[in-house]
Structure formats: C-alpha cells, structure tokens
Amino acid sequence: MSTPEKKARIYFAGSIRGGREDLEIYKELITYLQTKGTVLTEHIGLDDLDDLNKEKKRTDVDIWERDMEWLYSCDVIVAEVTRPSLGVGYELGIAEKIRKRVILLFRDDTGKQCSAMLTGNAHFKERITYTKVATACEQLDALL
C-alpha cells in the first residue's frame, strides 16, 4: 500500500498594503497554485480581506506572527514582485535568511524593472518573467 503524497505548502506573496491593483492576477495565480498544493496565504486573492480569518480585525502583531509561522513551515515561496511592496521585500529577506526555496514572478509589460536586490541575488535564481498569467502557470508547472 503506497502512502499518499504530501501536498506542498505554498506561501504566495503579493502586495496588500502596497496596493491591490494586481488583485485579479493574484487570484488567478492562487487558483493555479491550489492545484499544486495548499496555499497558506490564499487570503491575498480575496476582494475583501475580511472574508477569511477576519483579516482586517487582526492586529499587526497577529499578522506578523502568523505569517512568520507560515514562512518557516512552507515548502516553497512564490512571490509576485511586479508591484513593489515593503512586506513582500521583508518576507523575501527572511526567506533568504532561512534558506527557503523562492520562485519570483515579474510581469515585463509594465515598463518597470524588477529590483536589482532580487535579480542580482543568487538565492533568487528561480525567476519567471511573463506577460500573461497562463504563461506564468506553464513555467511554474516546470518548477513545481
């Protein structure tokens, strides 16, 4: 009798307080990632962050403690880094420090450049540049 395969624990990082303009993209990516494992941070794709776990009612300390627990316990971090976010940058710094596997996603049709602090860092070697979410998902398939 074979044992069931353990589902990957995925930490999806995307901007929340830094701007929600990419919410629809986050939703699509999270929906895709849910086919690959358990997305610990599925709330990032919600229209109203109060829909799950009373997110808006949590204190900043509660959020930090929960997110640190998730970062330490996840198998992989998938970070959409097109929209600059202090929180995502902080999470990526922690991820590097604790040697977590990280896959960066960056849309190259925005006229912006990805931060040199990410592209110049050897720890963040798994990077996907895309214009369509479907293309990002195809590339993620090869990595997950």
The whole-angstrom separation of Cα 116 and Cα 27 is 26
CA geometry: angle at 144 spanning 142 and 124, to 5°? 90
The answer to whether the beta carbons of residues 103 and 37 sit under 8 Å apart is no
Answer yes or no: is 8 a known binding residue.
Answer: no
Give the three-class secondary structure for 127.
Answer: strand
Answer yes or no: is 68 a known binding residue.
Answer: no
The whole-angstrom separation of Cα 29 and Cα 76 is 14
Bridge partners, 79 (sequence order): 13, 104
Answer yes or no: is 90 a known binding residue.
Answer: no
Answer yes or no: is 117 a known binding residue.
Answer: yes
Answer yes or no: is 72 a known binding residue.
Answer: no
90 secondary structure, DSSP code: H
Where is the binding site for substrate, in residues? 26, 91, 115-117
Where is the binding site, in residues? 26, 91, 115-117
